[in-house]
């Protein structure tokens, strides 16, 4: 059976669903091809379940930390089977928004099959030959499994399987110190597991060093064992547990764990679509695209993890809007990541937008740095959550180049800085705003104000102020 559409989307994750919903509601004839579960990684094995697990872990930790508030309670009794049910209840609550039924109601034809190109303008999905004016590849990514001898024989967890656990790991060995590894290391430790995190280099390498140091200290204080600049040489099963040999600082250590969680990065899921038949060029990072997200076949676009750019759900959603403008209306919309935010959902959260200090200096900017400690914030003091900073990277004439926040709810606060960068606002706009008191948001105003402190309270201003006072009646 052969059918023709205006737009064919391969992949029903966050990016593909955003394109499908937007294009269908604008009147295009749309088909969505998805071989697995609607919602993709974000709903089923990524953002949603991880944040639900983190929320449960935060509740447990709040009980442990209650003594400082004058409230005494027993250590938390973590019923891990119930935590599993909580995680999957959250998934189930969100799933209808991503369901086949909802998209069918929007007018999208959904084909539950693997899509594979047979020609540059034709895809086969199940028993349907799909022809379309434009195609969008949104097949996402899958976990990278490092070639560690013995790992396959012992078995391992990834983000695709860890949320199926109904019994709490006795000791979880986390391989990889990126955002996923760090978030889940803290969460499982707070839920009562022993946790050792093994990272080949340093944890959270994309973030500001000052911010990472705060997160590192919190992890250590909560009992996560960190082995950085370490490499696993072998995994052996001993009495049902994993014996892991780790080289660090010229020495070899032997670790024993009940479970291994691999969080060593992700790679694009591209082979299944048969890119050669579509004349799509693929590189080591994924499908190659231009600033309009077009592949080497200009009828075919690629968005999300599969094209190797920033691997965030919100970026896939942003890219969906770029594709709709290009594919449906031939508008030359291009991506711009100058105000790209990301958040690592530890506690405190680590949020960033724009350039880091190192990136700004590498790009040739004249840089000044503003750092405001969280302990100077009255709301943080009231909540006994004073581990954190705001770090603002400033260019010439007060131009905001980047911002990093390490605070409770930093992901909610970073949007102000993203808006400022996107709209070309200067520090004076942030310093001059009225922030409600007492709130964590005051840290942004105080950080911006530091830029003007030498001018406002320097010798020159004192001289001017004294002179004016003499002239006043």
Residues contacting residue 466 through CB under 8 Å, at least 6 positions apart: none
CA 287 to mean position of chain CA atoms: 20
Whether the pLDDT of residue 457 is over 80: the answer is no
For residue 130, the domain's CATH number is: 3.50.50.60
Contact by Cβ (8 Å): 234, 148: yes
199 lies in a domain?
Answer: yes
Nearest to 440 by CA among 460, 412, 463: 412
Domain interval for residue 161: 151-264
The answer to whether residues 372 and 441 touch, using CB atoms and an 8 Å cutoff, is: no
Q: CA 126, CA 117: separation in Å to the nearest integer?
A: 12
Q: What is the reported pLDDT for 86?
A: 98
CA distance 125 to 113: 5
**271 and 254 housed in the same domain:** no
124 and 184 share one domain: no
Token couple for 345? 């959902």
Q: Is 47 part of a structural domain of the chain?
A: no
φ, ψ (nearest 5 deg) of residue 80 = -65, -30
Report pLDDT for 471: 86
139 and 273 belong to one structural domain: yes
What does the alpha-carbon distance between residue 420 and residue 261 come to, in Å, rounded to a whole number? 38
Q: Using one digit for the tens of pLDDT, what is the confidence trace for 74-124?
A: 899 999 999 999 999 999 999 999 999 999 999 999 999 999 999 999 999
pLDDT digits (tens, 9 = 90+) for 42-85: 999 999 999 999 999 999 999 999 999 999 878 999 999 999 99
Helix axes 209-221, 179-190, angle to 10 degrees: 20
Domain endpoint, select from 244, 264, 284: 264
For residue 190, pLDDT beyond 90: yes
Token code pair at residue 95: 């799933």
Residue 88, by phi and psi: left (phi above 0), alpha (psi -120 to 50) or beta? alpha
Dihedral angle over CA of 58, 60, 64, 67, nearest 10: 80
Same-domain pairing of 197 and 244: yes
DSSP string, 222-258: TT-EEE-SEEEEEEEEETTEEEEEEEETTEEEEEEES
Same domain, 258 and 377: no
Task: Give the number of domains in the chain.
Answer: 3
Residues 275 and 252 in one domain: no
Q: Report the distance separating Cα 326 and Cα 324, nearest Å.
A: 5
Q: Map 140-173 to HEC letters.
A: CEEECCCCCCCHHHHCCECCCCHHHCCCCCCEEE
Q: Are residues 258 and 274 in the same domain?
A: no
Q: What is the mean pLDDT of residues 259-265?
A: 97
218 falls in which pLDDT band (50, 70, 90)? very high
pLDDT category of residue 365 using cuts at 50, 70 and 90: very high
DSSP-based three-state secondary structure for 419: helix
């Amino acid at each position: 059976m052969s059918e023709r559409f205006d737009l064919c989307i391969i992949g029903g994750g966050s990016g593909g669903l955003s394109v499908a919903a937007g294009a269908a509601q604008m009147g295009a004839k749309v088909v969505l091809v998805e071989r697995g579960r609607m919602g993709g990684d974000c709903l089923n094995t990524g953002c949603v379940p991880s944040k639900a697990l983190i929320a449960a872990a935060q509740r447990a930790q709040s009980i442990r930390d209650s003594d400082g508030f004058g409230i005494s309670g027993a250590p938390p009794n973590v019923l891990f089977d119930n935590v599993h049910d909580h995680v999957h209840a959250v998934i189930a609550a969100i799933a209808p928004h991503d369901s086949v039924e909802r998209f069918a109601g929007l007018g999208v034809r959904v084909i539950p099959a693997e899509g594979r190109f047979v020609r540059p303008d034709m895809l086969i999905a199940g028993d349907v030959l799909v022809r379309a004016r434009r195609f969008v590849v949104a097949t996402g990514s899958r976990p990278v499994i490092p070639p560690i001898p013995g790992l396959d024989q012992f078995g391992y967890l990834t983000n695709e399987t860890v949320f199926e656990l109904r019994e709490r790991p006795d000791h979880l060995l986390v391989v990889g110190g990126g955002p996923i590894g760090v978030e889940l290391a803290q969460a499982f430790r707070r839920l009562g597991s022993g946790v050792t995190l093994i990272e080949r280099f340093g944890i959270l390498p994309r973030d500001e060093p000052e911010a990472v140091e705060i997160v590192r200290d919190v992890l250590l204080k909560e009992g996560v064992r960190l082995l950085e600049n370490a490499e696993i040489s072998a995994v052996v099963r001993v009495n049902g547990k994993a014996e892991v040999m780790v080289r660090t600082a010229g020495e070899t250590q032997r670790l024993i764990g009940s479970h291994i969680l691999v969080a060593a990065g992700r790679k694009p899921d591209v082979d299944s679509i048969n890119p050669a038949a579509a004349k799509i060029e693929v590189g080591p990072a994924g499908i190659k695209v231009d600033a309009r997200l077009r592949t080497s076949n200009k009828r075919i676009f690629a968005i999300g993890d599969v094209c190797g750019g920033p691997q965030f759900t919100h970026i896939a959603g942003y890219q969906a809007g770029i594709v709709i403008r290009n594919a449906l209306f031939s508008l030359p919309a291009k991506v711009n990541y100058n105000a790209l935010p990301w958040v690592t959902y530890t506690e405190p959260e680590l949020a960033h937008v724009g350039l880091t200090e190192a990136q700004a200096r590498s790009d040739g900017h004249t840089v000044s740095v503003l750092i405001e400690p969280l302990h100077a914030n009255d709301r943080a003091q009231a909540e006994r959550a004073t581990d954190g900073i705001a770090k603002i990277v400033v260019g010439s004439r007060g131009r905001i180049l980047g911002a990093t926040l390490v605070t409770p709810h930093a992901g909610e606060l970073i949007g102000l800085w993203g808006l400022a960068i996107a709209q070309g606002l200067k520090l004076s706009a942030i310093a001059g705003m009225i922030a409600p008191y007492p709130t964590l948001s005051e840290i942004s105003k105080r950080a911006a104000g530091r830029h003007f402190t030498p001018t406002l309270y320097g010798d020159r201003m004192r001289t001017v102020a004294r002179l004016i006072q003499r002239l006043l009646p």
